[in-house]
Amino acid sequence: MANEKKTFREAYGVLQGHAETLRNQTEPNIDDLLAIVEESVSAYRVCKERIDAVEKALEKALNDVADVVPQASESIPSRAKSASRQANVAPAQTPAANPGFDDLEDDIPF
């Protein structure tokens, strides 16, 4: 199957499958290694191209939204700005990191 016809999900599945195969080998199978590497590189390229395209589309969408939505400082009347400068406002608290993600297994094959 050509790269253009593979979806991200299919290509990612190939990478996961090859990673699992290599991880579970008790002895290296050098006869299959070249085919596994070539197919993995091809699948990686499909994934990378798709990720790059999505990142670019997201950047464009977010930039378009940023152009439409006024900045907070632009939407506050000048009296409110001076009043907020004079008020004693406590600094914002930084939320604690979510400890729930520390116990997740990293199953990304690359």
Q: What is the pLDDT of residue 2?
A: 47
DSSP 99: G
Identify residue 105 by its one-letter amino acid code: E
Greater confidence (59 vs 78) lies with 59
Q: How many CA atoms lie within 13 A of 73 on its CB side?
A: 2
Q: In which band, very low, low, confident or very high, does the pLDDT at 29 lie, cut at 50, 70 and 90?
A: confident
- CA 15-18-23 angle, 5° bins: 120
pLDDT average, residue stretch 23-44? 94
d(CA 57, CA 88): 41
Residue 69 has pLDDT above 90, yes or no: no
Q: What are phi and psi of 29, to 5 degrees?
A: -105, 90
Q: What is the pLDDT of residue 3?
A: 45
